[in-house]
Structure 1
C-alpha cells in the first residue's frame, strides 16, 4: 500500500539548513596550541552534550563544562575559557539553497518545521542568522525535553506541525535520526546534499 503524500516538512538544522566551517575550530585550536579536533571531541562527548540537548543545563553551563574539560590540554583554566569562548562566537552559516527550498514549499502552503537537537541558544542563533520568520514551527530538543532519535521527539514535532506522522516528511544528515523518524511513522530521507532537493520536492504534495 502506497504511503500518503507528505503535507508538512520537518528539516534538521545542523548539517542541513546550517553549515559549519571546520576551519574556524581548527584555527582556534592551532592558535591555542590544542590538538586538532579536540574542541569538537570534548563538546560532543555524550556526558556533556546530552544534558544540554534535553534542557537539564543551559548553553552557558555546557560551555563552562567544555572549558573545564579542556583545561589540561590548554594549560590553564583561563586559556581554556578563552579558546572555547572564541570558538563559540562563530554560529555557522545558512545554506541558501536549502533556505530557498523552504521558502518555496511554504509559499505553496506546506508547513515547515525545524527539527533539531539544540540548546537554549537556538532562538538567538535563528535571530542572528535571519531565520526567525522563515519557519512555521521550531522543535528544539532542549525545550521538548527529549532528543532525536527518540519516538517522543518526533511525536512532539508532529503535534507542533498539526500533521499526522504519515503526512510528515523529515530530512536529516544523521542515519540514527532518520531511522528514529521512520520508527515513529514519518517519511524520512537521509540528507546528503543539494541533489536531494529534487527528491524532497517530488515527495511533497504541492
Structure 2
C-alpha cells in the first residue's frame, strides 16, 4: 500500500470524539434552561475564544459559564460523557501504518486530561491543540503548525474536519481536504488516496 499523501491532519471533536447530546438536554431540563440555551452559552465567543486560545484555563471557562447558567449546570456540562468513534479510530490507525496522523483541534487546556481518560494519549503521532499554540481553526497558522510537525509540506497533507470553514481554510493552503460526514465516507476517501498512491508508485 502506498498512500497518496504524506500525512493526515485530523480534527478531534466531531470526527473522532462525540458528546452525549441527550445528557446535555437532560442538564437543561434539570435546571430549567431552554433547549439549546446551554450550548449557546458554552460556545459564546466571549468565553469560548479565550479558552480555545489558552488565555484562560478550562476551569476558568467553567466559572464564566456558571455565571450565565448556574454553577451546577456548568459543572455537569463540563463533565458530559463523550465517546470515541471506533470506526474512525480504526481508519486512522490503518493510515498511521504508512504516514503520520496528527490531531488538530480547537481545544481547552483540559484536552490532555481528556485524551488520557479516553486512552488516546499515545494514539496520534502528535497533537496540535489551539490552547497550547495560541491559534485556532480556521486560522491557517494552526494547520501549518500541524504540517510542520508532520514533517511534510501543506500540499502533501490530507485534512479531515467536520466544519466546512476549516476545510476551506485547508484547501486554501493547497491541502487535500475532506469534509467529514461519516466513518464510511472517510473510509472511501482513504481508499481513493490509497489507489492514487499505488498508481503513482507503479508509474515510477
Q: What whole-Å deviation, never above 9, does each CA across 1:76-99 have from its counterpart, x for those lacking one?
A: xxxx11111112112411000001
| In 1: Cα distance, 2:173 partner to 2:78 partner | 33
Aligned to 2:41: 42
TM-score by length of 1: 0.89
**Residue of 66, 79, 83 corresponding to 1:89:** 79
| In 2: Cα distance, 1:90 partner to 1:134 partner | 22
| In 2: Cα distance, 1:21 partner to 1:53 partner | 21
* Cα drift, residue 200 of structure 1: 2.5
Partner SS for 1:9 = strand
Does residue 194 of structure 1 match 2:183?
Answer: yes
Does residue 105 of structure 1 match 2:95?
Answer: yes
| In 1: Cα distance, 2:63 partner to 2:173 partner | 35
Q: What whole-Å deviation, never above 9, does each CA across 1:44-80 have from its counterpart, x for those lacking one?
A: 111111111111111111111111122xxxxxxxxx1
Aligned to 2:168: 179
Runs of 4+ residues over 3 Å off in structure 1: none
Which consecutive residues of structure 1, in runs of 5 or more, have no partner in the other structure? 71-79
Partner SS for 1:169 = strand
- Cα-Cα RMSD: 1.4
Contact 2:20 2:81 in 1 (8 A): no
Aligned to 1:17: 16
| In 1: Cα distance, 2:65 partner to 2:167 partner | 28
Aligned to 1:8: 7
Which consecutive residues of structure 2, in runs of 5 or more, have no partner in the other structure? 199-204
- When the two structures are aligned, how many residues end up with a matched partner? 193
Does residue 62 of structure 1 match 2:52?
Answer: no
| In 1: Cα distance, 2:5 partner to 2:81 partner | 31
